[in-house]
Amino acid sequence: MQTKKQSFIESLTNVAVGFLVTIISLHIIFPLLGIENHSGKNILITMYLTLLSILRNYILRRFFNARQ
């Protein structure tokens, strides 16, 4: 079982990696789809998706913890 600190570090690492993967992916996929590539918009989209990911992860974690 993880300590709270370990869980927090894992969550931060997961979010950081996801953020970077999304930024890189947007720079690759947008030009392929003919979408204008603006770094500011890419960061805004990535921040939005990151917040959704954090919320989803938290809800699922709480759901499964409650089932135990």
Cα separation, 42 vs 1, whole angstroms: 37
pLDDT tens-digit map of 21-48: 989 998 999 999 999 888 888 889 889 9
Structural domain boundaries enclosing 48 = 4-67
pLDDT tens-digit map of 1-27: 667 788 778 888 888 898 899 899 989
Amino acid letter, 53:
S
User: What is the total count of domains within the chain?
Assistant: 1
Cα separation, 16 vs 11, whole angstroms: 9
